[in-house]
Amino acid sequence: MKHIRLYITVALLALAGMMATGASAQVLRDADFNSIGRINGNGVVRDATMHSIGSFDADGTVRNNTGKAVGNIKQLEIYDTAGSRIGYISTDGTVRDGESNVLGYISINDGKVTDAHKQTIGFARGVRVDWIACYYFFHMFE
């Protein structure tokens, strides 16, 4: 029963994220609420100067600005290109590395992103939590 609830929660989070990002580009902000980039509904990630720095494919592949695969997302789990799990997001928005150490938190309600010490590092309202984690915690576009 617990596994069924987890799968339902994951599905609802993914659906909510897809619906939120499907309408238009969502702004990525730093702790001071300054715009630092955007993610559009097609998964294209842009920096503050609107240059493409990567993308999220529909199949979960994460790509850098040259189109090279740098990772993969599967059901709120983040993998590197070798297939090793480098992190995951719990249903409460807690982001953990591959060894289950807390990296930070993503508020499902308002998109606030905080580090492990609960210090605000950014905001990404209306963006899928797995995309937020790849951007803020796993730095897949640097």
Read off the pTM.
Answer: 0.80
| Cα–Cα distance measured from residue 104 to residue 69, given in angstroms and rounded to the nearest whole number | 24
Q: What is the pLDDT of residues 2-35, one digit of tens each?
A: 556 655 555 545 545 544 434 468 999 999 999 9
Cα 75 from chain centre:
12
Q: Taking the domains of the chain in order of start, what are their residue ranges?
A: 2-136
Q: What is the pLDDT of residues 69-114, one digit of tens each?
A: 999 999 999 999 999 999 999 999 999 999 999 999 999 889 999 9
Residue 125 structure tokens: 């309202």
